[in-house]
């Protein structure tokens, strides 16, 4: 399992092409094996989160991007369920409103970066500024095209200051998206999740794929690389994200802080 990250990473400096990736791919792994490993990963994540909190010198930021119905909510639900909620923040990024519109596009993002000792999860992120903004011509190209470099500089600043950035693109096929939309229509408990805008956005599928390709190509860096997760199979998606998170936290070599008192001299009567 340790090589999952290497197989799914977008190599910095390479040209990304999503149409060369099979969203059904599970790297030859079987469902039961993935389920077993996921259970182990969730246990390990709980231990590593505790270490991260105890050390309180670094933090982990998990960025989840994906087309509608790509599985962002499901990933949060299944991969983060074993974490202590006191040390986790989940921030959804929707259309900027109110005060957010009176600042630069990274202002609200920086505010949501997890403090040291914590794990932060972005459900969508600052990358909407080179995705939705681009596809729907909400800003001129001269403006949104500058944001690739600004994002890279921002993420480098975070990593240089103790924030490990993990970025996941949950990649599903257009056919899989249609099936998930049908499920929302057929299941009354999921009707609320369906929006007519979801249908409208499907008309821009090819435009989004091109925008994703450029995003991955320009913003997969040595300090904050992108991972493309084939996400048609939810069980593989969960395993892959959890494994990469475990690997990243293990690589931090987290340590418990030294006690503030000489514990050998403490006695109880």
CB atoms within 10 A of CB 12: 14
Measuring CA to CA, which residue among 133, 145, 205 is closest to residue 176? Answer: 205
Domain that holds residue 12: 4-251
d(CA 170, CA 72): 7
In a domain, 175, yes or no: yes
pLDDT of residue 194: 82
Helix axes 72-79, 234-251, angle to 10 degrees: 60
pLDDT of residue 98: 96
pLDDT of residue 259: 84
pLDDT of residue 260: 81
In a domain, 201, yes or no: yes
Cα angle 138-13-152, degrees, rounded to a multiple of 5:
45
In a domain, 159, yes or no: yes
pLDDT of residue 195: 82
In a domain, 265, yes or no: no
> Average pLDDT for consecutive 10-residue bins of the chain (269 residues)?
92 98 98 98 98 98 96 97 96 95 97 98 98 97 98 98 98 97 90 84 96 98 98 98 98 92 80
In a domain, 256, yes or no: no
- Domains of the chain: total: 1
d(CA 249, CA 51): 9
In a domain, 268, yes or no: no
List the CATH number of the domain containing 187: 3.40.50.300
Residue showing tokens 């229509």? 185
Rounded to a whole number of angstroms, the CA Rg of the chain reads 20
pLDDT of residue 254: 97
pLDDT of residue 197: 83
pLDDT of residue 79: 98
Asked whether the CA dihedral 27, 246, 38, 63 is positive or negative, the reply is negative
d(CA 89, CA 166): 15
In a domain, 267, yes or no: no
What pTM did the predictor assign? Answer: 0.95
């Amino acid at each position: 399992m340790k090589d999952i990250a290497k197989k799914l990473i977008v190599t910095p400096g390479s040209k990304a092409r999503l149409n060369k990736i099979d969203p059904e791919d599970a790297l030859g792994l079987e469902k039961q094996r993935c389920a077993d490993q996921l259970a182990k990963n969730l246990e390990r994540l709980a231990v590593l989160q505790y270490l991260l909190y105890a050390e309180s010198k670094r933090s982990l930021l998990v960025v989840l991007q994906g087309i509608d119905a790509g599985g962002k909510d499901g990933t949060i639900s299944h991969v983060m369920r074993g974490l202590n909620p006191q040390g986790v923040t989940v921030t959804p990024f929707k259309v900027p409103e109110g005060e957010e519109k009176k600042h630069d596009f990274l202002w609200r993002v920086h505010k949501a970066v997890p403090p040291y000792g914590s794990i932060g999860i972005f459900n969508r992120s600052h990358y909407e500024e080179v995705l939705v903004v681009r596809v729907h011509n909400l800003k001129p190209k001269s403006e949104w095209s500058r944001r690739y470099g600004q994002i890279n500089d921002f993420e480098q600043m975070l990593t240089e200051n103790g924030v490990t950035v993990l970025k996941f693109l949950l990649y599903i096929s257009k056919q899989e998206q249609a099936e998930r939309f049908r499920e929302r229509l057929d299941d009354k408990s999921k009707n609320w999740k369906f929006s007519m805008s979801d249908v409208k956005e499907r008309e821009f599928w090819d435009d989004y794929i091109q925008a994703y390709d450029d995003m991955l190509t320009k913003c997969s860096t040595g300090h904050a690389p992108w991972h493309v997760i084939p996400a048609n199979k939810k069980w593989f998606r969960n395993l892959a994200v959890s494994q990469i998170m475990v690997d990243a936290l293990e690589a931090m070599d987290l340590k418990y802080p030294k006690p503030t008192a000489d514990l050998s001299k403490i006695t109880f009567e």
